[in-house]
Amino acid sequence: MNFSFQKIGLAIAFSPTSEAMLTEAARLTALYQASLVLIHVGNQGEKEEKKMNELLAKVGISPSAVKICWESGRPAESILKVCQREKIDLLIAGALKKENLVSYYIGTIARKIMRKADCSFLMITNPTTQPQGYKNIVVNAEDSPYVTEAITTACQLGMKEHSSWVHIVRELKMYGLTMAASDQCTEEEYDDMRQHLVKDFGKSWI
């Protein structure tokens, strides 16, 4: 299955990472020769339009080269509505990385979008104004009828980006381990049970 993004959407706010996010989106748009749609949920006035035009100028994008959707209401619902209306293939949004932890923490809005979006959803954790491509791509392999398509798309994106790794992750809820831990087992017993649960889970998934 080959893919090509025809229309890319960027959920954008006036934040410190806005320029970097727009730069990343512009690079992907050029890479796939796609059109770009900017989605801003918030006020639209002379002040906001000036900020948007200044942001576009910094990145070197002509206002006539993009479509800007000014939306109001709840962010997640508004963004999803635009994706459906504009037939967006890939939605881009920023993500927050909590210091000193390996895990990436995704906000409530992003979680709603991830679960309900009808298109591919790319979250960028460390946007930069001088993007060099994505060396590591993480795909969420949740229980979904689209999981095979999601993994395939991530792998093809990785090849196009010359990525070093494509990581496939899946949430593992260790209910049995939690119950055992509540019975005050030793640290060694806890670790042993955890290893067995992970191994059994892996066998059942494969």
> Where do the domains of the chain lie?
7-132, 175-205
Residue predicted with more confidence, 32 or 140: 32
Under the banding of pLDDT at 50, 70 and 90, the label for residue 132 is: confident
pLDDT band at 205 (very low <50, low <70, confident <90, very high): very low
Please say whether the beta carbons of 106 and 142 come within 8 A: no
Residue range 71-110, pLDDT digits in tens: 999 999 999 999 999 999 999 998 765 544 334 445 678 7
The structure's pTM equals 0.77
What's the whole-number average pLDDT of the chain?
82
Looking at the chain, the whole-number percentage of residues with pLDDT higher than 70 is 75
142 and 111 in contact (C-beta within 8 Å)?
no
Residue 28 binned pLDDT confidence (cut-offs 50, 70, 90): very high
Q: Which residues contact 120 (CB under 8 A, 6 or more apart)?
A: 5, 89, 90, 91, 150, 153
What does the pLDDT read at residue 179?
45
Record: fold of 7-132:
Rossmann fold (3.40.50)
As a whole number of angstroms, the distance between CA 96 and CA 107 comes to 8
Q: What is the pLDDT of residue 95?
A: 74
Q: Is the pLDDT of residue 48 over 50?
A: yes
What SS3 class is residue 172?
Answer: coil
Residue 169 near residue 138 (C-beta atoms within 8 A): yes
Q: What percent of the chain has a predicted confidence (pLDDT) above 90?
A: 49
DSSP 42: S
Q: What is the chain's percent helix, strand, coil content, to nearest 5?
A: 45, 20, 35
